[in-house]
Structure 1
Amino acid sequence: MAQVLEFKLPDLGEGLTEAEIVRWLVEVGDVVAVDQPVVEVETAKAMVEVPCPYGGVVTARFGEAGTELPVGAPLLTVAVGEPEPDRPAAPGADGHRAQPARAQAASAASTEAGSAASGGAGPSAGAADPGTEGSGNVLVGYGTSRAPARRRRVRPGPPAGANGRARAADPVDGPVPVISPLVRRLARENGLDLRELTGSGPDGLILRADVEYALRAAAAQGRTATAPARPRPGVEPARETAGAAPAAQAGAAALGAAPVTAAPGGDGVRTPLKGVRGAVADKLSRSRREIPDATCWVDADATELMRARAAMNAAGASTALNTAGVPKVSLIALLARICTAALARFPELNSAVDTEAREIVRFDRVHLGFAAQTERGLVVPVVRDAHARNAESLTAEFARLTEAARTGALTPAELTGGTFTLNNYGVFGVDGSTPILNHPEAAMLGVGRITPKPWVHEGELAVRQVVQLSLTFDHRVCDGGTAGGFLRYVADCVEQPAVLLRTV
């Protein structure tokens, strides 16, 4: 007899509490394997494909495209094992009903799918007992599991008063206590075996902060060359993962379209502030409410910077590397290089304010966010360790992240953790702006369009390529003298790129 198991929308991490269904990847009656993606959802951070931890036949789906579901709400049901003959599956929320004959024909395939995903067939080649077989490496909270006797015993986390991080544990067979697919992905991409960790969450749950701590510890001991992911500015990793408000967790994400309805009286339309739009609205409101920002600006002659870029690319065109497909150095990469050099001289602006502790948190690394316009709206991907990259490396990373933004493939990690933002609004044909800071960052450099204008050059009036630069900053982290010094240094480097070579 088949057992119908309910799969609920899992916690996708980053403090997110809801997600919107973008499209279903399976139909009612389809056979799915363990960990097969079944639905694509959109959160306030990114598009995510959600895998199902059960192998069997889909009997119901809950919600159509555009439906917004909270974490823990039913997503779909799967019939696992041998189905009862002549008994149709119950209809789902979307009105679909599984075909009995189709389910019976697929039962053997579903059993094989579950067995294959768990690493091979069990002692019996027949239908698996859902209480004794599973994927083995499941997502705690909505996954299958092996028999209780074979379940891994989760050890408690570090005692109170310790560093609050995960400690190493002896590898043990059984399911890994991980809820978030993002945590599993972070560990997989960095070659970290989750079975070697004991989580600091409830009942030994492994959190993202635990993985990041383990990666930092491994890097410190020289066991990995992968730099650990950096926590969001001003927020301790454990506090962030444990349940910070969605407004505090919402990254700079796309402002997607939302359905509209006619307002009462026919005098306008209403656009719901929910999902991505709602998360961004909450974050911008919080930034304006909490941060006493100020803006200063200056005009600069960018003629020499444009000439320097042309010279770099002309020199590169004659090398074998360029003919092999290396992209030309981009203007935003040069501006980013100038920003990181300026932040090294004025580190007060590479910081955030911890309002609860009433402390300024200054960062020793520059994770540079930049604005990228896409069909889904404006997103702000983050270039990690921008201070350690040269112009060619920055160009390549900007191109990669921009393409990922265009295709909607940016991950939540690539949209969070910035410490400073570069906003090139000149691509929209405007000269200046006073933007809202990307909370909790302390500063943002704005770059307007570069356009020919009359300019006094070497005592004579000439037509030069002029750009307006603006700096919006949190007045709590510094005064006008520091902000003005930063902006003046940036302008000097734009006007005379040789200044950059002299001062770094």
Structure 2
Amino acid sequence: MTVKDFKLPDLGEGLEEGDIVAWHVAEGDVIELNQTVADIETAKAVVAVPSPFAGRVVELVGEVGDTLEVGSVFVRIDTDVDAGGVTTDADDGDAAAAAPRPSSGLDADEEPQPLVGYGQGKAGGTRRRRHRGAAAAAEQDAAPAEDAPILAKPPVRKLAKDLGVDLAAIAPGSGPDGIITRDDVQAAADDTSAPEAAAPAASEVAAPAAPEPAPASAPVRPGELTLGFRGRVPGEVEPIRGIRKRIVEKMETSRREIPAASCSREIDVSRMWDLAKDLTAGAQDQGLDVKVTPFSIVMRAAVLGLRRFPTLNARIVGRQGDEPGEIHLLEHIHLGFAADTDHGLMVPNIKDAHTRSLVEISAELADLAGRARDGSIGPGALTGGTFTVNNYGAFGNDDGDPILNHPECGILGIGAMRERPWVVDGELTIRRTATLRLAFDHRACDGGEAGRFVTYVGDLCEQPSRILLHA
């Protein structure tokens, strides 16, 4: 038996540890190259980790909830196992060393390479059964694959649990390789809550089937009425780890190290609201599957503002003790945005946003937000941001107190866009308005420059056609 240690790989951007969210294999299972063995939550995202070896799982090191350091032994795998799960060890060591490795049927130079740390390959979607002999194999071939793995990411599994949807009943899903998506779960929940269909005609009624036993109801906690937001229950204790641990560290560092100040302006977004609808309709007429939103227009306006006032797209570098350090004005704008997910706050960023058109920013915004919420986003999309825009108005908030995403020097928030009384040319009327609020690092940017930035971005939002004039 040749046992190889699979060590937890660096899942991106130099992360040092990860928490086990779920195991997808068990000790004794025979697995394929690149088959997902576990979901690991890092400080940035939940990552599906595939195996770099094919063989039989000898040992799983750690339980769900445990924290593992990068480079520590993660799984031990016996690679001297053939495709049927039969050990190919010989009596002597030389024969064992020469035992054939499981093959994909390709030539040696065409064998698939490990995809460690970035999701499973198409070859690794199923789990092989253990070898039980010809008779047992024949019985299994005739029987349905009841223990076939259910492919769904952790946030989707949690949504299914919250909505009372049995994932096994809707597998395979509509996603790649049969992965169950949020839409699959939501559709199943909607079907469950839909009214019963009309009774069929008498000629169509089959013989009544034996009634199925009612499913056992979930145990009810004493005194429990309903679950709280995202299934939370008063009195429970939640460990701080993974993404939440990273949030704690970033927020504490921001408040401790950055002398932040803020300024705001209330703006008329009526034209921007209408322009977003017109551009979305125009894009669809041209066959583009993209939705331009008022928030994506704000993001594009922020990019133009950062080009004019670059101290907000900067870093304080070399600040230690009595050394004041330097202000580095960054050439590239990697525009982050706050995304509310089942795992907590994430801040994906649009790389090189200064090179993107409004339509491109809108498409990238939708893509990154969707991947952040369904758990498929990678660490690379969550690091390297240079400035953040926060749409807390999406939760119905008129205003907020944005906290700088350390080590960034600025964050722009926008509140709810509502119809409110507004004075136009001396006359009181009703307009759709919102509040822009900028928090900034006062070490890098003075109040005058910050105020001018907010005014400039606000003017662009009030007259959004000017945004289209910029390449």
Task: Give the TM-score category using the shorter length.
Answer: 0.5 to 0.7
Deviations 1:424-477 (A, max 9, x none): 100011111112101111001100001111111111011111100000000011
**Distance in 2 separating the partners of 1:12 and 1:503:** 38
* Structure 2 partner of 1:344: 307
Residue 87 (structure 2) aligned to one of 75, 79, 104: 104
Cα shift readout 1:334-363 (whole Å, capped 9, x = no counterpart): 111111111111111111111447111111
Cα distance change on mapping 1:26 and 1:112 into 2, 3 Å: farther
- In the other structure, the counterpart of 2:4 is 5
Cα displacement string for residues 338-397 of structure 1 (whole angstroms, at most 9, x for unaligned residues): 111111111111111114471111111211101122222221111111111111111111
Partner residue, 2:62: 63
Q: Look up the match of 2:422.
A: 455
**CA deviation map 1:46-104 (0-9, x unaligned):** 12222333332112212232222223333222223279xxxxxxxxxxxxxxxxx9653
1:327 to 286, 290, 312: 290
Query: Does the CA-based 8 Å contact 2:265-2:437 persist in structure 1?
Result: yes
* In structure 2, C-alpha distance between the alignment counterparts of 1:291 and 1:500, rounded to whole Å: 32
- Tell me, in whole angstroms, the C-alpha distance in 2 between the residues paired with 1:471 and 1:26: 48
Query: 1:456 is paired with a residue of what secondary structure?
Result: strand
**In 2, distance between residues paired with 1:117 and 1:42?**
34
Residue 457 of structure 2 corresponds to residue 490 of structure 1:
yes
Retained in 1: the 8 A contact 2:243–2:343?
Answer: no
Question: Alignment partner for residue 120 of structure 1, among 85, 88, 108?
Answer: 108
Question: Given residue 332 of structure 1, which amino acid in structure 2 is its aligned partner?
Answer: F
CA shift at 1:14, angstroms?
2.2
CA shift for structure 1 position 315: 4.1
Describe the shift of the 1:259–1:312 C-alpha distance in structure 2 as closer, same or farther (beyond 3 A).
closer
Match of 2:241 among 246, 252, 274: 274
2:400 maps to 1:436: no
Contact 1:31 1:106 in 2 (8 A): no
Bigger relative contact order, structure 1 or 2 (CA pairs below 8 A, ≥6 apart): 2
Greater displacement, 451-460 / 60-69: 60-69
**What displacement does 1:136 show?**
10
Find out whether 1:78 has 2:54 as its counterpart: no
> Structure 1's 102 and 301: CA in aligned 2 closer, same or farther, altered over 3 A?
closer
Residue-pair matches, total: 350
SS at match of 2:452: helix
CA drift of 1:30 comes to 2.0
Q: Is the 8 A contact 1:29 1:102 kept in 2?
A: no
Q: State the distance in 1 between where 2:355 and 2:379 align.
A: 22
Q: Does the CA contact (< 8 Å) of 1:333 and 1:395 recur in 2?
A: yes
Tell whether the 8 Å contact from 1:34 to 1:117 is kept in structure 2 after alignment: no
- Does the Cα contact within 8 Å between 1:29 and 1:103 map onto a contact in 2? no
AA partner of residue 275 (structure 1) = G
Q: Quote the Cα distance in structure 2 between the aligned partners of 1:258 and 1:354.
A: 42
The 10-residue stretch of structure 1 (482-491 or 61-70) with the greater mean CA deviation from structure 2: 61-70
Give yes or no for the alignment of 1:411 onto 2:378.
yes
Which secondary structure state, in structure 2, belongs to the residue aligned with residue 397 of structure 1? Answer: helix
Question: 1:316 Cα deviation (Å)?
Answer: 4.3
Give, in whole Å, the separation in 2 of the partners of 1:392 and 1:12.
31
Describe the SS at the equivalent of 1:5.
Answer: strand
CA distance in 1, matches of 2:89, 2:414: 59
Give 1:403 shift: 1.4
Q: Which residue number in structure 1 is paired with residue 32 of structure 2?
A: 33
TM-aligned CA deviation for residue 270 of structure 1: 4.3
Q: What do residues 271-295 of structure 1 show as CA deviations (whole Å, max 9, x unaligned)?
A: 3322221121011111111111111
Please give the residue correspondences for 1:248-267 in structure 2 after superposition, counting only pairs within 5 Å: none
8 Å contact kept, 1:80–1:111:
no
Q: Which segment drifts farther, 375-384 or 360-369?
A: 375-384
In the other structure, the counterpart of 1:293 is 260
Gap change, CA 1:451 and 1:286, over 3 Å in 2: same
Distance 1:40 1:25 in 2: 8
CA–CA separation in structure 1 for the residues paired with 2:277 and 2:246 = 41
Q: Does 1:470 align with 2:437?
A: yes
Q: Which amino acid aligns with 2:453?
A: F
3-state SS of 1:410 partner: coil
Aligned partner letter, 1:352:
R
- The residue type paired with residue 108 of structure 2 is G
**For the aligned residues, what is the CA RMSD?**
3.3
Q: Deviations over 1:235-289 (max 9, x none)?
A: xxxxxxxxxxxxxxxxxxxxx99999x9xxxxx6643322221121011111111
What residue ranges of structure 2 are gaps of 5+ in the alignment? Answer: 91-95, 122-228
Alignment of 1:309-324 (within 5 A): 309-316=276-283, 319=285, 321=286, 324=287
* SS of residue paired to 2:420: strand
Cα separation, partners in 2 of 1:406 and 1:274, compared to 1, 3 Å: closer
Q: Distance in 1 between matches of 2:374 and 2:99?
A: 36
TM-score (norm 1): 0.63
Q: CA deviation at 1:43?
A: 0.8
Q: Does 1:363 align with 2:330?
A: yes
Task: Check whether the contact 1:360–1:477 (CA below 8 A) recurs between aligned residues.
Answer: yes
% identity of equivalent residues: 41
| 3-state DSSP of counterpart to 1:104 | coil
Q: CA shift at 1:493, angstroms?
A: 1.3
Change (3 A) 1:368 1:105: same
Give the drift of 1:310: 3.0
Amino acid at match of 2:17: E
Distance 1:57 1:274 in 2: 30
Find the aligned partners of 1:427 and 1:282 in 2 and give their Cα distance.
Answer: 25
- Counterpart Cα distance in 2 of 1:498 and 1:136: 50
How far residue 399 of structure 1 moved from its aligned partner, in angstroms, is: 1.2
Asked if 1:481 corresponds to 2:444, the answer is: no
1:41 and 1:405 map into 2 onto residues whose CA distance is 15
Q: 1:316 & 1:437 partners in 2: Cα distance?
A: 34
Q: 1:111 to 1:51 in 2, by over 3 A?
A: farther
The 1:355–1:289 alpha-carbon spacing in structure 2 relative to 1, beyond 3 Å, is: farther
User: What is the CA–CA distance in structure 2 between the aligned matches of 1:53 and 1:341, rounded to whole Å?
Assistant: 45
The normalised TM-score by structure 2 is: 0.67
1:199-218 matches, within 5 Å, as none
Q: 1:10 to 1:497 in 2, by over 3 A?
A: closer
Letter paired with 2:36? P
Shift of residue 112 of structure 1? 5.3
Which residue identity does 2:306 align to in structure 1? L
Cα distance in structure 2, aligned partners of 1:296 and 1:351: 18
Deviation larger for 19-28 or 450-459:
19-28
Residues 33 and 113 in structure 1, CA contact (< 8 A), matched pair in contact too: no
Q: Name the CA distance, whole Å, in 2 between partners of 1:298 and 1:422.
A: 15
Moved more, 41-50 or 475-484: 41-50
